[in-house]
Structure 1
């Protein structure tokens, strides 16, 4: 009982330390500093919170007040419990639990540290010689051993990881589905362009078939009415010629439809020897017809410069054909607003393979755009006019599917040139 006043005296110093610490401004820091012994050491709640001098703890007071803006948001605290033990008449150990709220910006945080302190009265008054703050993280429940707590926490984390993994897998599935839809949209857009060109091209043989069929009907009427054997023979010859022409143009229309169906099915994935010049010429015609069908006002000129002796490469003709159409479509789109824009498609043998170049004299691209043209979903077209997948898919077809290269060269005001290089034989 005789020690109780001493206990109360120690407790009062501890409370004064916290109250001055929590007081805004440097005056509070100075008052708390005055309660710290010269040989003070301390540990805070963070990994690097170690104080080896009296001055270090004062600097901590000032920095903490400034960081939390205690001048504008004074913290609240109360000592939930405090226990004082005297080891010697001039040495006390204090343990306690502090409850406090600290405002940082617009947010208010509850901070409830546990504290252990050593106070020394060697100088004639009680001063703080050491403190150690810690914050319980609720790892262990009451009556639980550390191993049991860690095991329980591991199970909790496993459940959280499993739930988060399921969420990520669902998100990934949604992204893959969205990507598949966009890829299909790009393929359908490419097919639509080809279909427009094919429809434009197929009109000619169908017109021939219709005209020659009508003419054949007239020849049959004339043949029925003509009594002269020589005239009848001439009419039969004309009729036979008309029938041959109908057959020729019908077969031409059939070939065009077959080509359209091949494009609709997509590439077979099977490589075969493909005449590069013939493939480029065929698909350039498709692209130009599609341009005229979609943009009748276009004055763009498409020129072919097919090198001699280019020969054949091992390739999927449908896939490479779509690449050629896509590159030409982009080039025609780049020059469409010019009075007379021109696009040149050239072929040549190069580096043990074949090179196909599509060049335009359009406005060109800045380096920031050129560097990203093969990125999936990147487009400079207005919303709704492009998915940004055409060049990305073309790049995958050439580089990943055929072991080739697809590069872009451009500068503002100097047009653009896309170069496809394909090896003569697949590795």
Structure 2
């Protein structure tokens, strides 16, 4: 029954009774009141009639051969198509036990024989009106839920937009502020190194020209351990040079990651974006007092340049990698980490960074060595070009995994599996909007408890500018 039905619509009543006289009586009574009446002599015929045309109300006799009214009602309520149809039981019995059972199996009302025409019509109309109100309430609930979902989506979109603007400005500002002094340091280290070498050469020349130094000079050389200082000073200059160079790489990665001035689509190298994101996360991948180092296994395919919104795609990569690290840290905190001895054994026996041993467990079609035998926790990044001109990026971890009951809600706005204060519930929802709505792609999660999780995103190689 639908809300757009008019007053001219004849309500369809199915009368089920094994007594023909009762059928004729009820049919005549209800037809005279403007109802469309169908008749069934037994339960099997009634079930068939409901499948052919769904009635608005069913009048169902209790005492029938082969299949009584209770059994018929149970089957009606078990069928998704007929479960919402109101069932009014009719019977000559006036036993309280029968009434209780009638309501217990799903009946909504009870009429005792002999029939009183006005009572029957009133009870039917009451059930029709109740059903109409129920449908109206369901539709209003649906509209309300839709409005709530739209509001959440709008909030997420606004947060995403504001977050991207703020992130881009922050990263670009930080990169600019760091870049100036580090460029000064990096540029001058070359001269500092040359000056130090010139001084060392001068000292060595003095040692050759004046091999017999005074006692004061000899004492000073002994106190400062001159030979060690000369060697270590050269090492320090080299270390500072490498450190400055590393900071320059990080600044460059920050600039590439934010892509502050690249709001429009452009062709990018996906692997470079992944590498830049990993540079940003090096501090979380290193070994700490709380967890061993996380090994990143890269399984890159041969990808062409991909047209995309680069800064937003980087945000998705950042979130998925951060989630993978969080999952591994959670597993370590839960006692899933391997012992130092196992890790050292694994390191000595690990064949290569890009190959994973056979006999491991997998997420999707990806393979991992069993967690108890891993040298360290792992994140595997797999990229490939699919046959539909799509690029796939899969990020898998060997953390504790995600329960099946939670996976269906992962991309809902404001839903998070993390403890209070450690997750906003927006990361995956924003990622979903970026991949599905903005890039016309898809994002999926494949996981089971104890076997890690894999998030895979697929986007077209080319995008149509909106």
Instruction: Normalising by structure 1, report the TM-score.
Output: 0.45
**Larger Rg, first or second structure (1 or 2):** 1
Give 1 or 2: higher strand fraction.
1
Instruction: Normalising by structure 2, report the TM-score.
Output: 0.42
